[in-house]
Amino acid sequence: MLPAMIISTSSHNVQLTDDICEYVEETLRNEFGHVSDRVTSIDARLEAIHGTRDRYDIKAVVRVDLRNREALVTEVQDKDLHAAVRRGAADSARAFGRQARHSRELSGQRSPGMFHAFSRYSASNI
């Protein structure tokens, strides 16, 4: 049995409340719940950075550690904390989908006929 997916939240110049931590965890579980067997941990880091006109923007950095020892990192900047978390989770999920599709293509799940079409020899000689 695989251990459960771990979700952690950290911040820099942003005060984390229980509501913010729950929102981050809920959003990430919604995006990655169906593939939790392939994800080891997810770390969401929220940072306040200077935006325009003395306002602060929120940068959400989401790092997803996969079971195959790879990691995906996405960064999203937005004026709204909730929007930054939602977009960061969605972008990470899309990156995970692209990585999963790419690894399936490389793992040899293609039909053998595709390889024979480009070879020097006909299939009967192989």
Our CA dihedral for 85, 91, 94, 96, rounded to 10 degrees, sits at -80
Residue 81 pLDDT > 60, yes or no? yes
Check residue 25 and give its pLDDT. 95
Check residue 118 and give its pLDDT. 46
Mean pLDDT, rounded, for 89-103: 87
Residue 101 pLDDT > 70, yes or no? yes
Check residue 108 and give its pLDDT. 60
Q: Among residues 57, 41, 44, 48, which one has the least CA distance to residue 90?
A: 44
Residue 17 pLDDT > 60, yes or no? yes
pTM confidence score: 0.76
- Indicate the SS3 state at residue 29: helix
Select the more confidently predicted residue: 108 or 61.
Answer: 61
Residue 114 pLDDT > 60, yes or no? no
User: What are the boundaries of each domain within the chain?
Assistant: 6-106
Mean pLDDT, rounded, for 30-56: 87
Pick the CATH number of 6-106 from 3.30.160.100, 3.40.30.10, 1.20.1250.20, 3.40.50.670: 3.30.160.100
